[in-house]
A = this chain, B = another copy of it.
Amino acid sequence: MNITTNQEHKAVQVNPEKGSAMEFNHIKNVVAVMSGKGGVGKSFVTGLLASALARDGYQVGILDADITGPSIPMLFGLHGPVEPGTVGIQPLQSRSGIKVISMNLLLASEDQPVIWRGPLISKAIKQLWGDVEWGTLDYLLVDLPPGTSDATLTIMQSLPVKGIVMVTTPQGLAALIVRKAVHMAQSIGIHIAGVVENMAYFVCPDCGKRHIIFGDSHAKEVAETANAPLLTQLPMDPQIATLCDTGKIEEINIAGIPEFLQSFLKAIQALPEKKND
């Protein structure tokens, strides 16, 4: 097995005689974090949720499926290259033990673009899923790229996704495009576990006034369209930006995270079982 990029590459060679990573892995719940729209905070919500799960004692992995715009390694301060293990690529581990794989951990340089058309993107995603030594995980969170094209389709059709966490922001524009993503998931028959509204408000640190910078919330409408609960509404906060930019997402400590985790766990448990094949 060989994952390469378009220009320079870190080829990770694995010996297929020792068996495949898929035989070795036992992943209990695959949950995709989706939006349709870019920049609403899918990667942030993925990282925040993974950190909360790990803090609560769950075994967690993150598959960064945004091949051309990967954000996850930076949030956790992780840098490649990854190394081969016995039956597959070894994911990197964050400070709190979250296993992470991302295209950016396979590139020779982190700001190298991946200029690929759809078929190569789909192949890469299948390898990041099936050729990685995930081991035993309670939750594998899949951070999807924007859009409803190749990467998203491949995840929905090839991975045993139990449910989707749909991320939105207060803008009407985001709500419109997130509704497209909801309709895509519904047409493919994948359940939406819940909706998260990010960048919901900003509290001025000087005067304490709460500002709705991106307009009034459309989260309830999105949740109704998705027929799923609104799991949480997250604020904009300069501390969040700073911790995310310095690889310290696991240190974020904003109000409401324990309640978000509980509503997430409850929503996932309420979904019908999906055979993990």
A interface residue numbers (CB < 8 A to B): 36-40, 43, 67-71, 74-75, 110-119, 121, 145-150, 153, 169-173, 176-177, 179-181, 183-184, 187-188, 202, 204-207, 209, 211-215, 225, 236-238, 241-242, 244-246
Q: Is the CB of B209 within 8 A of A238?
A: no
With A and B bound together, what is the CA distance between A31 and B197 in angstroms? 33
Give the dominant DSSP class at A's interface. loop
Contact assessment for B36 and A69 in the assembled complex, using a CB-CB cutoff below 8 Å: yes
Copies of this chain, whole number: 2
* Given known A-B contacts A113-B180, A215-B242, A150 and B118 have beta carbons under 8 A apart: yes
Whether B36 lies near A39 (C-beta < 8 A) is no
Whole-angstrom CA separation of A246 from B176 in the bound complex:
13
On chain B, the residues within 8 Å of A238 by CB distance are: 211-215
A187 to chain B, nearest CB (A): 7
Contacts of A112 in B (CB 8 A): 180, 183
B68 touches A148 (CB 8 A): yes
A-B contact pairs, 24 of them (CB 8 A): A36-B68, A38-B146, A39-B39, A67-B149, A68-B146, A69-B177, A74-B172, A113-B183, A117-B149, A149-B149, A171-B241, A171-B245, A173-B245, A202-B211, A204-B204, A204-B209, A205-B211, A206-B209, A207-B209, A211-B238, A213-B236, A214-B241, A215-B238, A215-B245
